[in-house]
Amino acid sequence: MDKLSVMHAFRRIVERGSFARAADDLGVSPALLSREIKLLEESLGCTLIARTTRSMSLTDAGRIYYDEANAVLEAVRGVETRIREGAGAVQGHLRVNAASSFAQMVIAPSLPEFLSAYPDLRLTLSLDERVVDMVEGGFDLSIRIRPAMADSALVARKIGIIRQRIFSSRGYLERAGTPQTPDDIPAHDIIGFALATHLTSWTLHRTNGDTAEEPHTIELDPHVRVGNSLILRDLLIAGHGIGTLPDFVANEAEARGDLVRVLPDYELPSPEVFAVTASRLGMDAKVSAFLEHLRPHLQA
């Protein structure tokens, strides 16, 4: 028995003063309505409506049930109204998880403007290089950089793309020599991103010239492995070797001349930026607002 549905039917019977009129309003037969009320009375162990062939009246128990059912139904309606109204409002608590280097370089600079635009919003930004359990962690949104997202119960939307290139410092290249071909790379000191899928194997493809050339794969054994792209960048700037960096980490250092491109005609496959949510019912207003604010800072 659907108690809320029966409560609604009972209230309509009382307010209309007739099983037939209530049944007509609800689009069901009077016989079905009568059976529903009979089952309700049996479950409660008392009579709610005293009825004859010509009239009906509430018993004392029926009047109590009507008052309480009316309060319950109004409370449910109020909750549903607040949820519907709130679904379009940028408010509440937004919980976001992202890779630490991406959060520091891309998300963090945009946060002051975002928070000023939505003063009623609370924000928790959690940084983690590894993929987390969104449901267990209670996150509304996870920003992940991956070559592809595996099929799962989560919903992943592509929101950007990252260029992955090879960098070093001028000082290191002057000391150790500048690689001229991909096959020169393994002879150098390699600094690797410990969590990357390309830690020990770089598949390089040309970005200009003969783009039809087959990708070139080289096997590596990095002498230094770190789990944070910002640390990797700083080690490269300090002249400790050659490594790959995403554009959002390397751009400023390259513009200043602290880093230079190695094999500038080559780069690794471009990973994508995914916005991952747990629900297939669509993003709520606060998640949508956050992603819209972030989008101009991404390379689509």
The arrangement of secondary structure in 93-156+273-297, i.e. its CATH architecture, is 3-Layer(aba) Sandwich (3.40)
Sorting pLDDT into bands at 50, 70 and 90, what band is 162?
very high
Spatial CB neighbours of 240, under 8 Å, sequence gap ≥ 6: 172, 189, 191, 224
CATH code linked to domain 3-87 = 1.10.10.10
User: Scanning the structure block, which residue is given the tokens 């969590």?
Assistant: 195
Instruction: State in Å, rounded, how far the first CA of the chain is from the last one.
Output: 52
| Stretch 167-196: mean pLDDT | 96
What interhelical angle do 19-26 and 3-16 show, nearest 10?
A: 130
| Stretch 220-239: mean pLDDT | 96
Domain ranges of the chain: 3-87, 93-156+273-297, 164-267
pLDDT of 300 > 50? The answer is: no
CATH code linked to domain 164-267 = 3.40.190.10
CA dist 149 and 126 (Å) reads 20
Q: Highest mean pLDDT: which of 5-9, 133-137, 242-246?
A: 242-246
Higher pLDDT, 280 or 50: 50
What's the residue count for the chain?
300
CA dist 289 and 284 (Å) reads 9
CATH topology agreement for domains 3-87 and 164-267: no
Please tell me whether the overall predicted TM-score, pTM, comes out greater than 0.75 for this model: no
pLDDT in tens, 20-48: 888 888 888 888 888 988 988 888 899 98
pLDDT in tens, 247-267: 999 999 999 999 999 999 999
Contact 51, 13 (CB under 8 A): no
Cβ neighbours, 10 Å, residue 69: 21
Contact 14, 48 (CB under 8 A): no
pLDDT in tens, 41-91: 888 899 989 887 778 888 999 899 989 988 888 888 776 666 665 556 788
Give the rounded percent of residues in the chain with a pLDDT score beyond 90.
45
